[in-house]
Structure 1
């Protein structure tokens, strides 16, 4: 055994070799270009600390920041048929689903949770844009119905966070059928006298905007969110005119009466707590004195 080659030289190389830095430590803001440290960005709920640009956030992370103490129960969603049309483009639809599940760690594009916001029991439904652009498939319709049925059973309000690129083409007409299905579910809430609040995030487009995303008793949006049916580029090419600055953005829609409020992500929890208390004719929201996570049993996924 050569002691110098096998021990001394590797030891020296390890001392002087350059250590690789993980690629995900810094995130570049797409709006202002500022490099943000990942922990600082997480603490700010994926909002740029330099310009205030609201980046995408997963429903699970949103719920942890929204519910009291970050405690919530994930409600089960009926599993739809995996590939009802046998659809294939460049890839098979089941392969795309597997990739999306591996990327996000979620079973579908929508998550349903039950918890308390300001000590008021609430059902929250969150759409994940990272899962195939949050496209509306049968799982999304099943999730909305599951959340509404639970809300009617527990007599509590529903808050839905929309983020989608529209209908899912791999499910064809079955995807479009989720528009009337979700509309019927919202009507169930109205007949039960329960509030339905929608928070529109960037982007909310297509068939989602044409159905459950615009049926709320109160319509809230995050700053700068793109909210539309057809995008600005499609409209400009169709009418051959230049659109106004900020067209179809949250602030533009607020000025033109399509939204009730634009609320920053950091202020969303307090805003929803006050609003839900008003809509349910309850006492003012209470913060603090939160339940311990181990005190609440988990539901099966």
Structure 2
């Protein structure tokens, strides 16, 4: 740590000042660990050039933040056994914000208010507690703050039979992304604001509005996703960010209902409106494009 900060000093710093800075950090190392020395090293200019220290630190922080923004990343993979693993790199500010959010969710007051008096008394390992708090944060993220994609908010759709919802049947439930969850988890999620339950066989929102409006409603778009399981263009495997497309153009008398709607990804939706292609809709729901000759 000492070498790092001494080497980081500009070449314009006189040799005697560099020696003075190094001696200062060596002396501080008798009383501080590497973490504390890192903080002291950041303020090393206060020792050799106090009048330049603030500007120097501001420039250093700006440089670090720029590098952190470029290094920002998130990796996720599902192991096929009910767990998703990942790692991320985020700027210090966002890390501090996430740490405060997780700490607030783990706080005894919150745990008692949401899970009862016994929850706060549980002595769980910190990584486990933080992991569960992170899951709670994901579930509680406000739906109205989630960006829309394909006309609906990017929230998880859980498909379940009415008998499963009522507890009369134990049957796996399917997410719109293709993963499966237990019926107990589905029933718990069905009452959460950030989850959209599609109860098959039960009462639902009106889905067919015919000529009353041009654009598909959110309920129609969700029902289309449930029915189509992804982009219906031949050979396409896109399952997210899909558009609701009229098979017969609304301007030409098409209806805004499920029978006249089909899910297409952005690329294939553009092709459906490209006059250099013909579009064929097959009875099985598949859509095939052919270039006009």
TM-score scaled by structure 2? 0.25
Q: Which has the larger radius of gyration?
A: 2
Higher share of residues assigned helix: 2
Higher normalized contact order (CA 8 Å, seq sep 6+, divided by chain length): 1
